[in-house]
Structure 1
Amino acid sequence: MMHGAVPLLDDYLSHSAERLGDKIALVCGEHRLTYDELETRSSAVARHLVTSGVAPGDRVMIFADNTVETVVSFWAVLKASAVVCVVNPLTKSDKLGYLLNDCLPAALITDKHLQPVFAEPARNCPSLRRLIVSGQVDDAELRGLPHAVRWDEAAAGHGKAPARRRIDIDLAAIIYTSGSTGEPKGVMLTHRNMMAACTSIASYLELGEDDVILNVLPLAFDYGLYQMIMAFRTGARLVLERSFAFPAQILAIIERERVTGFPGVPTIFAALSDLRTLKANDFASIRYVTNTAAALPLKHIRLLQELFAAARIYSMYGLTECKRCTYLPPDDLARKPLSVGIAIPNTEMWIVDEDDRRVGPNAVGQLVIRGATVMKGYWGKPEATAKKLKPGPLPGEQVLYTGDYCRMDEEGYLYFVGRSDEIIKSRGEKVAPREVENVLMEIPGVREAAVVGVPDDLLGQAVKAFVVMEQGTIMGEKQLRMECQKRLENFMIPKSIQIVSSLPMTDTGKLKKMALS
């Protein structure tokens, strides 16, 4: 790094390579790479991108699984002074075409096995100047693709990264939201945004270079991506897996690699409930477990405390537009189990009513976030940006209106109520699906629950629940409704409850409510 230069996101890798060059930074399947190896390979790919015509501020899309190539490419794009955009490998061809034509990347980095998905959209993308393909691709296939080279060619050679040509307010990444409510939107994040988020989260998790972080979440999902960034910032080790498809295998990896950090989402923790017989395994190495997306049901909290007896459990809440909003200090878990916690360090939050006035304790309203993590806006979508970013308390600043309904108790602890577009209006009353889901989850034998509003001539919207039962549990709709009647106000009791074998999920493991009706 230049003397006196302000650090940028890619310096996280470079600085750790300077300090800990021979240390294993990445474990991915059979591969074990040191910090030096990652630094050398990413610099080589960065030089190739620049030579191929990638200019400062150009976008480079990475469409690949959780692989060594994806990790190397992420840092390479930043070193090329470009903007990185990681896209989930489960993305279908039509959607990939939409993303390519939305952010118009100068280069696409992908893998041979995804050729049936990317080939046509890549040919139709006017901005593409380089296509880098990893895996076994033959000459004829390569010639049939636009501006294509093999990964080995792009990653060849040694030497320094290209000269730096940007500053910390420049874009580092565009992260596409899952698009559960219409078209995907590209969240624009600067180097400063992402570094502020990393610094804040790493501080309360107390990350150190002795940590071994397991990541089974897609790198296209910001929660997964930040596991890698924070690991390399700290000089820790990242154990990268493609998915949580085989829980028993993942738990064996925890034991073998002496994993200290286990980030997950509710669906992963629900899958663990089928593995109670494994709690005799040695999980003593796990120092912390994190959850985001929603507050953990009490049932999952108890399960995690059982499985990871020595671990600190962090319930967290955030959204791609500002990475993280809150975390619940583990010491508060027993007294405030349904809270998503307090504002992360260096962030402020408050709740407003429909007239944009701040509300008092326990009043439900929209959550507003102020801080250095707040996005620059949605790529190419000024109208959507204007709905989310509005003037803040200080002249000239913008704060994030999250679109999430929440309430805050007298001590400043936040409780997530529901997304504004998910609130059910039934009999003139507002019903938060999360409240009904929490009650369903507390019924013995219920493994997962999702609640949505469905059109109803009499009620306007009726509350409908979808429930996944634990293996071997026999309970019908009538019994479930009776349990709800004991615990819920009349207007909140589901009009119908459907027992299903599984709930639909997005590519990132979040519940896909749009698919329920």
Structure 2
Amino acid sequence: MRIEDHLRASARRLPEKVALTAGEKTLTYSGLDEASDRLAAGLIRLGVSPGDRAVLLLENGSEFVTSLFAIWKAGAVACPLHPSTRAEKLGRIVESLGASALLTQARLLQTAQAAVSRRDGSTVLLAWGLAEDAPNESSSRCEQLLAEGTDAPALHDGEHALALILHTSGSTGEPKGVMHTHASLGAACASIIAYLGNDENDIVFNVLPLSFGYGLTQVVTMAMVGGTLHLEKSFAFPAAILKRLAETQATGLPLVPSMAAAIANMKELEPGFLPEIRYITSAAAALPPAIAVKIRRLFPAARLHVMYGQTECIRALSLPPEAFDTHSASVGFAIPGTEAFVIDENGERAAPGMVGELVIRGPHVMAGYWNDPEASTAKLRGEAGGNSRTLLTGDLFSADENGFLTFVSRRDDIIKSRGEKVSPQEVERALYAIDGIAEAAVTGVPDDFLGQAVKAFVVLAPGVTLSHRDIVRSLARTLEDYMLPQSTEFCDSLPKTASGKLRLGLAQETIGD
């Protein structure tokens, strides 16, 4: 089943149900279905054909969601990019994709125009929110296409057609374009729905960028079950966001750890202050157990799902909420309908407790990297039966005797100090357990004697005073001496990517400047 067919099915079943709220805009399922139909017809008239790539450079909002489904209804491939993407990088990606269309908004039009200029008119530029008297030589108004559009044709290319190219958010080098078919994206979202128990009664409150897999799955899962999605543009003002969260009476709250930490450290919040929330999810980075404990205390009626995934498979692991008390450092098991296991250096399944590479297998694994067969071959293994593929994640994990999987480190992040291997994740967990530490990150820095020295970056909660010596003294109660930071840098904040992940490389270069 193609992704847009889920929207059509929900529109037939629940035509007047609210599908989406964003700012002052509300769209019912029939309204979203009709608007995306008309925009799809406009895209087709402008020359967008099945299999073409269409770039989305839009903030979270109804325009993004309408454009996303319109691209799929036109048979094209959606390529969402974060709205902060600079013109030069955007231009390189548009050129690499050979994009036939770029959909943006008035605020970002100058950036979009600079990016498509290198394509000599091969990329059609469309914009939302242009003033009626604005010059319009280089772009088409999306609103005009909506007004002129008709129903889009139902396509029959099948679920194995390419649906999505997500660009990885790595801080070094050019991002890779991760290709997902309608089948792989649908399989990932169906699995998420299964373990979260989503249905049409859910209202999901989303501040995550829709340009990343974690945010985009909120759109798809709600369309699949007929639930309601509430969109906010960012988490820049947590107190205002929590007020909006209460107003929406949301039942689902997806977070990244930095957001969870901000909420956990808000002293004025009382446990149970949002009783409608039935589940909270955390992904994109490891959620420190100390922060998870605080979140569970603030949301006693909610089930907390600690998860792990990669862009290459959307989602891979989830810890059952009832297992948190006994396995707080784990990210659980493979999501329904998939497999996950650890292999040793010989490619054999690792024994319990042994650290090795995590392998993911299932129908949710990507089709490969755009225009990069060498990188695709390095990460993927052949068909594992049916439509499943096998992904080598490059991440180090261990599994206990009961199969609980625990993240150890990115392969390249392991710190080698005094001849010992130090997991930054383990030190970070211990740092977050110290009262008064709001955010923490750990990395290795060159050292003539140790090889690498453990260095901590710490953000203290307001009004808290801690020294490096205080921190080391606390850590020494739970960590071996070779794992203790040799230095601590105190920061006002830690640099993060647009998806909420810490950018340690940038931290090392710029925090001390």
TM-score when normalising by structure 2: 0.96
Corresponding residue for residue 130 of structure 1: 124
Go from structure 1 to structure 2 and tell me whether the alpha carbon gap of 1:351 and 1:327 turns closer, same or farther (over 3 Å shift). Answer: same
Partner of 1:284: 275
Q: Which of the numbers 338, 343, 349 marks the counterpart of 1:347?
A: 338
Alpha-carbon separation, structure 2, partners of 1:262 and 1:87: 23
Match of 1:365 among 331, 338, 356: 356
Q: Which residue of 2 aligns with 1:240?
A: 231
Equivalenced residues, count: 508
Equivalent residue for 1:402, pick from 362, 383, 393 = 393
Give the root-mean-square deviation of aligned CA atoms: 1.7
Which residue does the alignment assign to 2:439? 448
- Counterpart of 1:156 in structure 2 is 147
Q: Does 1:512 align with 2:506?
A: no
2:54 and 2:359 map into 1 onto residues whose CA distance is 31
Unaligned runs of 5+ in 1: 1-6
Give per-residue Cα distances to partners, 1:106-151, cap 9 Å, x unaligned: 00000111123222111112573421111234666421x2xx2111
Q: Which residue matches 1:3? A: none
| 1:69 is the counterpart of 2:69 | no
Q: 1:52 to 1:136 in 2, by over 3 A?
A: closer
Q: Which aligned pairs between 1:368-407 and structure 2 lie closer than 5 A?
A: 368-391=359-382, 398-407=389-398
- Aligned letter for 1:170? A
Cα displacement string for residues 195-247 of structure 1 (whole angstroms, at most 9, x for unaligned residues): 10011110110001010000000000110000011011100000010011111
CA offsets, 1:67-102, max 9 Å, x none?
111110000000000100111001112211121122
Mapped pair 1:422 → 2:416: no
Conserved 8 A contact 2:261-2:438? yes
Query: 1:207 is aligned with what amino acid?
Result: N
Matched, 1:51 2:49: no
Paired position in structure 1 for 2:11: 17
Structure 1 stretch displaced more, 252-261 or 316-325? 252-261
CA distance in 1, matches of 2:428, 2:357: 20
Kindly provide the CA deviation profile for residues 289-338 of structure 1, in whole angstroms up to 9, marking residues without a partner as x: 00012342222112212221210111011101001111011111111111
Query: In the alignment, which residue of structure 1 is the partner of 2:76?
Result: 82
Counterpart of 1:224 in structure 2 is: 215
For the residue of structure 2 that corresponds to 1:48, the secondary structure is helix
Q: Tell me if the contact between 1:340 and 1:415 (Cα under 8 Å) persists in the aligned partners.
A: yes
Question: How many percent identity over aligned positions?
Answer: 44
Contact 2:365 2:388 in 1 (8 A): no
Which is further off, 105-114 or 425-434? Answer: 425-434
For 1:137 and 1:463, the matched residues in 2 are separated by: 54
AA paired with 1:103? L
Partners of 1:37 and 1:100 lie apart in 2 by 30
Query: Match for residue 473 of structure 1?
Result: 464
Structure 1 residues 251, 344: closer, same or farther in 2, change over 3 A? same
Map Cα deviations across residues 223-273 of structure 1 (whole Å, 9 max, x no partner).
000001101110000001001111112211222111000000100011113
Q: Quote the offset at 1:277 in angstroms.
A: 1.0
Give the aligned partner of residue 451 of structure 2: 460
Q: Does the residue aligned with 1:488 lie in a helix, a strand or coil?
A: coil
On the 8 A contact 2:273/2:299 being kept in 1, the answer is: no
Q: Distance in 2 between matches of 1:218 and 1:400?
A: 25
Matched, 1:35 2:29: yes
CA distance in 1, matches of 2:368, 2:294: 39
| Paired residues of 2:362 and 2:388 also in contact (CA < 8 A) | no
Change (3 A) 1:495 1:132: same
Q: 1:44 to 1:397 in 2, by over 3 A?
A: closer
Q: C-alpha displacement at 1:191, in angstroms?
A: 0.5
* Corresponding residue SS for 1:102: helix
Q: Could you tell me how far apart the structure 2 residues matched to 1:289 and 1:8 are?
A: 28
> Partner letter of residue 43 of structure 2?
L
In the alignment, which of 148, 154, 179 is matched to residue 188 of structure 1?
Answer: 179
**Relative to structure 2, which stretch is displaced further, 111-120 or 227-236?**
111-120
CA contact (8 A) 2:364 2:388 kept: no
SS of the aligned residue for 1:494 comes to coil
1:109 aligned to 103, 109, 113, which one?
A: 103
Q: Which amino acid aligns with 2:80?
A: V
Deviation at 1:352, TM superposition (A): 1.1
Structure 1's 395 and 120: CA in aligned 2 closer, same or farther, altered over 3 A?
Answer: closer
Distance 1:27 1:397, change over 3 A: closer
Change (3 A) 1:462 1:282: closer
Are residues 1:142 and 2:136 paired? yes
Write the distance in 2 (CA, Å) between the matches of 1:234 and 1:82: 23
Aligned to 2:203: 212
Aligned to 2:511: none
Alpha-carbon distance in structure 2 between the residues aligned to 1:84 and 1:392: 25
Q: Tell me how far apart the structure 1 counterparts of residues 70 and 507 of structure 2 sit (CA, whole Å).
A: 40
Q: Distance in 1 between matches of 2:158 and 2:211?
A: 24
Where do 4+ consecutive residues of structure 1 move more than 3 Å? Answer: 126-129, 137-141, 391-398
CA distance in 1, matches of 2:386, 2:500: 39
Q: Distance in 2 between matches of 1:394 and 1:259?
A: 39
Q: Does residue 265 of the first structure (1) align with residue 252 of the second (2)?
A: no
User: What corresponds to 2:316 in structure 1?
Assistant: 325
Give how far 1:167 is off: 1.3
Residues 126, 452 of structure 1: alpha-carbon distance in 2 compared, 3 angstrom cutoff: farther
The 3-state SS of whatever aligns with 1:300 is helix
CA distance in 2, matches of 1:110, 1:128: 16
- Assess if the C-alpha contact under 8 Å between 1:104 and 1:127 holds in 2: no
Unaligned runs of at least 5 residues, structure 2: 509-513
Question: What amino acid is aligned across from residue 388 of structure 1 in structure 2?
Answer: K
SS in 1 for 2:205: strand
Deviation at 1:29, TM superposition (A): 0.5
Distance 1:182 1:124, change over 3 A: same
Report the residue type matching 2:2 in the other structure: L
Q: How many Å separate the matches in 2 of 1:439 and 1:45? A: 51
Say which is worse superposed, 416-425 or 12-21, in terms of deviation: 416-425
